[in-house]
Structures are given as structure tokens and as C-alpha cells.
Amino acid sequence: MGIVSQEAIVQLQALMDPVDEPLNKTFQLLECLQWRVQSDIDDILAKPIVPTELYRAVRDSQLIGMSGFSREGLPVFANGVGLSTFDKASVHYYVQSHIQINEYRDRVILPSASKKHGRPVTTCIKVLDMTGLKLSALSQIKLLTIISTIDDLNYPEKTNTYYIVNAPYIFSACWKVVKPLLQERTRKKIQVLPGCGRDELLKIMDFASLPHFCRREGSGSSRHSENENCFSLDHPFHQQLYNYIKQQSLITEPAQPIKQGSFHVDLPDPAAGGTEIAKTLESELHKIENRNGLSRSFNGIKIDDE
């Protein structure tokens, strides 16, 4: 049997790559459709989180909202990464809420924007606020990895650009080790802006569409009026979303009272890349924690972190 040269292997791989990519996309689409059927995703916008007090607790601990539109018509979503605690409800409620926002974006917001602008609007902008990011974020990595995996597998290419603002030192340290692990197409979408990002974001959106934590230097995620704070349940976006879900519930099951309980979705196993990133983040956070512990020790007396 002859020896196959490395050059021949490279040439064969070059011939296979154009075939592999469409096949991979087809398999991913089939897996996405299977996930939607098995998890009843088509019905998730008819499953409100009740009672309202529970939904308010979810909103207060999973900081996400929509602040407006870019000048190109792309919806602007804000995410309070640093101050989200995910400690007021079970994992399934947070996953349910996240998917409902994704589905509302794809079924209602994007079609409406497309109609308004007379052209397809298929992606959004995300502004990630790192205010308040602490070492305690270590405990949230697993849930954030689950949510990220759901997005990667079932809502690919829905985000045009990620803007990161109000980034403290802990983010900068983690970003240095995580950035090389990201796929190039993902890396290209991420921009880390100075300060609250106001000046840069005003180049692509009006002031009224800026998330509240970007509106002035040093503002961080300080609380504004509830109509300005796009994380609040009282913000127009969340009022419209919650009312839409309750209305869909009445249409789907008009004679049935709204049932309490989370909408269980099959939680995916993180992809290999996501697992590696999570482990790298965890390792880096532990290193920072150890360094802080050493720097806060004085004459053998440990000073507690804030």
C-alpha cells in the first residue's frame, strides 16, 4: 500500500471543505428543528411566567431589555452582565425568559422593523454592561454557558455587533485569555468601548435609544426612572412583551387559567468550545481571587473583600 503524501491529504481536505460546510449547516438546522419540536418552542410565547411578582423577580435578577433602534433599524438590546444575580428563581425560569425574548425578537420585533424600513432586518445589536462585575460571577458561569449554547445552536447569526461598556479590571483580565479562544467570526463582532460607550454608540443610534447605563460618563447602571431603565418590568418593552405573552396564552387556552410553573426546555450540553471558555474563565477568576487575597493581607490579617 502506497504512502499518502501530506500534500495529497491537504488537497483532499480542500475538496471536502466546501461539501462539509453545507452538510454541517444542514445537520445544525435539523438539530435546531428537533430541539424546537421536543421543547415546544413554538408555544413558548403563550406560556407567561406567573404570578407577576415572580416575573418581576426574574427581571430584577436577569438584567436584559431593549432600549430602542439603531439608525439602520436594528433593535438595540441591553444586558446588565455585571449586576445580574440569577438568584431569584430556578434555572428553568431564566432560560424560559431568555428564549421568550429571543422568540419575541424574531417573531414580532424584527418583522415589524423589516416592514417599517421596507427591507429585511434580521439581526440586532447588543450592548453588554459590565458594571459591578465581581469575582462572584464565578457562580454564574454555568448558567451563562447554557444560555450562550442555546443561542449558538438555535439562534445563530442573530447579533450584528456586541458592544462591551463599563468594563472593570476583572473583565479586562478575563478578556485577554478568552479572546483567543473565540471563533474569528465571533471576535470580529465584539467591540470593547471606553467608559460607558456613549460617544461611540451615538455614532450609530440616537440618544433616546441609548441604554440607560450609557447616557452619561460615570453613570454605570445607576437607576433612572423606570421608563428609562430598560431592565425594569415597568419599561415599555417589557410591558409589551409580557402583555403579548399573556394575550397569546388566552388565545391558545381561552378556557384554562394560566398555570404557574416554569416552561421546561431541554438544556443543552455546552459545546466543546463553550466548555473550554468556561473553564478558562473559571481558572482566570480563581487566579484574580488568589492575587486579591494576597494583596489584601497585611501582617497576616486577612481583609475581607467587599
Residue-number span of the structural domain to which 234 is assigned: 48-213+229-248
Q: Which residues contact 162 (CB under 8 A, 6 or more apart)?
A: 126, 128, 189, 190, 191
Does 40 fall in a domain? Answer: no
Query: In whole angstroms, what is the distance from residue 77 CA to residue 112 CA?
Result: 16
> Which pLDDT value is given to residue 282?
75
Nearest to 128 by CA among 113, 144, 112: 144
> Which pLDDT value is given to residue 179?
85
Nearest to 76 by CA among 129, 125, 128: 125
Does 241 fall in a domain? Answer: yes
Does 180 fall in a domain? Answer: yes
Query: In whole angstroms, what is the distance from residue 284 CA to residue 154 CA?
Result: 29
pLDDT in tens, the chain (306 residues): 455 556 765 665 666 566 556 666 777 788 899 999 999 999 999 999 999 999 999 999 999 999 999 999 999 999 999 999 999 999 999 999 999 999 999 999 999 999 999 999 999 999 999 999 887 676 788 888 889 889 988 998 999 999 999 999 888 888 888 888 788 888 899 999 999 999 999 999 999 999 999 997 544 444 455 568 999 999 999 999 999 999 999 998 765 666 666 677 777 766 555 667 777 777 777 787 777 664 444 333 333 443
Q: Is the pTM value of this prediction over 0.75?
A: yes
> Which pLDDT value is given to residue 76?
98
Q: Are 213 and 78 in contact (CB under 8 A)?
A: yes
Cis status of the peptide bond prior to 111, with omega within 30 of 0: no
Does 284 fall in a domain? Answer: no
Residue 86, sorted as left (phi over 0), alpha (psi -120 to 50) or beta, turns out to be left
CATH number at residue 164: 3.40.525.10
> Which pLDDT value is given to residue 283?
79
Amino acid at 199: D
Q: Are 168 and 260 in contact (CB under 8 A)?
A: no
Does 91 fall in a domain? Answer: yes
Does 277 fall in a domain? Answer: no
Does 189 fall in a domain? Answer: yes
User: Is the dihedral angle over the CA atoms 222, 228, 233, 237 positive or is it negative?
Assistant: negative
Does 220 fall in a domain? Answer: no
Q: Are 125 and 214 in contact (CB under 8 A)?
A: no
- In percent, how much of the chain has pLDDT > 70? 77
> Which pLDDT value is given to residue 304?
42
Number of domains forming the structure of the chain: 1
